[in-house]
Amino acid sequence: MKKNTILAVCALVLFAACATVEPATGSPVVAVPPAASAPTADAPIAAPPPIETAPPAVVESAAAYMDRAIAFFREDRFDDAIRELDRALFIDSGLAEAYHLRGLAFFHNDELQPAIEDFTSAIRIRSDFAGAFNDRGFVYRQMGNLDLAIEDYNAAIRLRPDFVEALYNRGYAFFLRNDRDRTIADWEAVLRIDPQHVTARRNLDMVRQMQRR
């Protein structure tokens, strides 16, 4: 099962010159917020996915539904989390964080297109949502669309130049495109920010060895 945090988060194994380079592990690299919060990251944006048309039997605050969704998400109860997020969004369709978390839940359920749509909705509401750009890029990469993945990683890094996960993910996308110079540049940037990033260091060493052959 694809797990980990958005905020670390399907591993692909590549073989090149008998060396294995690891992708970003788990699922989109975003953190589940500790508690629900109000919405506070430029290509054409798709319309938001439909929200249930009937209100829940008992109407609570959007924040209450968000809190329950977060609890369900942490227990890997993704269908339950999606249900609570549907209800939160029925009450307040402007919650970027709710779209984002629902996108993560869809991702963990292997529903990639709904995940893309929800990350896109989060970005439409909050154009500075770097985590949503990174996570949408991660899903695009899983779907094999490296060009869109790199575009989203670029957007995330423009918003947060020290965004380690986006830098690592972009470097891995460049590796998949056999662009080793850019792979090395991104993973070197990761290590300047986080010298303890073991995966980046190991993979960087392997790619450098490939370059010398």
pLDDT the model gives residue 85: 98
pTM: 0.75
* pLDDT, mean of residues 127-139: 98
For residue 97, give the nearest of 110, 85, 83 by alpha carbon. 85
| CA 93 – CA 174 distance, rounded (Å) | 36
The whole-angstrom separation of Cα 157 and Cα 170 is 9
Question: 13-22, 62-71, 87-96, 144-153: which has the minimum mean pLDDT?
Answer: 13-22
Task: Extract the tokens encoding 180.
Answer: 């080793």
Q: pLDDT tens digits for 37-83? A: 333 333 333 334 444 444 455 567 999 999 999 999 999 999 999 99
Structural domains in the chain? 14-32+60-212 (1.25.40.10)
Give the mean model confidence (pLDDT) for residues 111-140.
98
Of the candidate ranges 7-21, 136-150, 152-166, the one whose mean pLDDT is the lowest: 7-21
Whole-number pLDDT of residue 23: 53
Residue 19: in which H helix or E strand, if any?
A: strand 19-21
Decide if 32 contacts 96 (C-beta within 8 A).
no
Tokens of 203: 């993979």
Q: Is the pLDDT of residue 97 over 60?
A: yes
- Which amino acid, one-letter code, is at 111? E
**pLDDT tens per residue across span 186-198:** 999 999 999 999 9
